[in-house]
Structures are given as structure tokens and as C-alpha cells.
Amino acid sequence: MIRVIIVEDDPMVADLAAGYLEGIDGFNLEGVAHSGEDALKLLRARHVDLVLLDVFMPGMTGMELLHIIKAQFCHADAIMITAAQSSDDILNALRMGVADYIVKPFTYERFRESLLQFREKRQLLISPEVPITQEMLDRRIFIKKERPAPDAGTPKGIDAHTLQTVIKVLQDYHGSFSLKDIEPLAGISRISLKKYFDYLTATGRLGSVKDYGGHGRPVTLYNWIA
């Protein structure tokens, strides 16, 4: 079992990642930290194999925490899940050996693929009795030939009736919209609604763009495509 902690200051994103993780075999969520300092407490208290790590956090940043993880917790790997998209941020993370880099807003399919790829690498590399050939390295770690398509069906937490309700609301809405706009119309919580938005984005029925016009965190605006 791969033991995971989520380090994310936005409770909604943390809950979304935790829900996605729950539906993927081979992973166990050990805890959620909303700051780098709280993440260090978890890392010191428990054996952690994988850290799902944001960059922008109050106090200690994700990049600062990543330095500490690599220096003091060599058994723990990290996957960045962040809105940081500058080449410097990405290069620094790659140089420090992150297992993957996921840009927000992320889809269930991209999240799942990242976790499955991490699990596959780990299973290969923790089996020292199995000689590792060049073909195995190329196919499962470095070159990564195309993975077969995942099983058909919607991810865990997507109810067909609720999905149709959300789709009807979006089709009737004029112009761009945010989660906050749709929440009272759909009649479900914003956390649950985010799962349906991510599913519709992944299946090509919603487009999204970041709105940096206001103060504080940027707002994701969506538009109905199909």
C-alpha cells in the first residue's frame, strides 16, 4: 500500500484530491495538511511514500517544503499539483526529482494516470529479485509506451441522474460561469459540483479559463461546449 499525504491550503482542492485518491487501488491517505509546517509534522509522525504537493501556500511554500523532503525524507516522493506554470517553477521541481507535475485545474483522468504511473514504477523498482531489462525501463519508466485506455465508465462519485441535472443547468445558463454561479442552481454542494465540472471538462463538454481580474485567488470560469 502506498501511503500518501496531501499538502494543499485550499480545502476544496484537498477534498477533491482525497476523493479521487480514494477510488484508486493501492493508495491510502494518511492525512491532509494545509501548510508546509503541518506537512512536516505528518512526515515526522508517519511513514509517507508520496506527497501530493501544492506550490502556493501561506508561510512555507511548496518548493521550500520539497527541498526539505528531498533532504530529510529520502523515502518520500512528490507529485506537484499546482497552478504554478512558469518554466522556472517546473524546471526547479523537475531538478528536485518530482515524480510528476500536474497543473490546476486538473481532471480525474490526469490525476488517475499520474497515480497509476507512480504505482507501476514503484512496483517495478521495489522488486530487487527481478532483473530489470532495458525494455522494462523503456516501457514502464522512461519512454513510456502508450498505456491501454482505462476502463470505461465514470469515476467514483459521479451519479448519472445528478450528472444529467448538472448538464441541464449548464445548457440553460447564458455566458461564462463559475462554480459559485451554478451551486445554487444545481442543488448540490460546491465540492460535489466540482467533481462533475472536472468530469465534464475531461470529456470535452466544458471549457475553462482562469480569471485573474479580481483580488486574491484567480477564479476558474467555465463555458458549455457540447
* Domain CATH number, residue 194: 1.10.10.10
Q: Flag whether 218 is in a domain.
A: yes
Would 187 be classed as within a structural domain? Answer: yes
Whether residue 130 is predicted with pLDDT greater than 50 in this model: the reply is yes
Q: What's the pLDDT score for residue 147?
A: 45
Q: Is 132 among the domain residues?
A: no
125 belongs to a structural domain: no
**How far is residue 183's CA from residue 12's CA, in Å, rounded to a whole number?**
14
> Kind and range of the H or E element at 193?
helix 190-202
DSSP three-state, residue 81: strand
Residue 36 pLDDT more than 90? yes
136 lies in some domain: no
For residue 150, what pLDDT is reported? 43
Q: Is residue 73 part of a domain?
A: yes
Amino acid 223: pLDDT: 86
Q: Quick one: pLDDT band at residue 219, thresholds 50, 70, 90?
A: confident
What are the beta bridge partners of residue 208?
222
Mean pLDDT of 126-145: 68
Residues 80, 178: one domain? no
Shared domain for 107 and 174, answered yes or no, is no
Has residue 54 been placed in a domain? yes
Task: Identify whether residues 197 and 94 lie together within a single domain.
Answer: no
Are 75 and 176 members of one domain? no
Q: How far apart are CA 203 and CA 199, in angstroms?
A: 6
Peptide bond between residue 184 and the one before it cis (omega within 30 degrees of 0): no
Same domain? 17 vs 112: yes
102 and 180 belong to one structural domain = no
Q: What pLDDT is recorded for position 11? A: 92
Task: Give mean pLDDT, residues 124-146.
Answer: 68
- Tell me what the mean pLDDT of segment 148-166 comes to: 72
Percent of the chain residues topping a pLDDT of 70: 88
Q: Check if the beta carbon of residue 47 is closer than 8 Å to that of residue 3.
A: yes
**Domain boundary residue, one of 67, 96, 120:** 120
Give pTM, 2 decimals.
0.63
- % of the chain exceeding 90 in pLDDT: 53
Same domain for 84 and 25, yes or no, is: yes
Structural domain span for residue 178: 160-224
Q: Which CATH number fits the domain that encloses residue 31?
A: 3.40.50.2300
- For residue 84, is it within any domain? yes
Number of domains comprising the chain: 2
Cβ 94 vs Cβ 36: under 8 Å: no
Same domain, 97 and 206: no
- Co-location of 24 and 89 in the same domain: yes
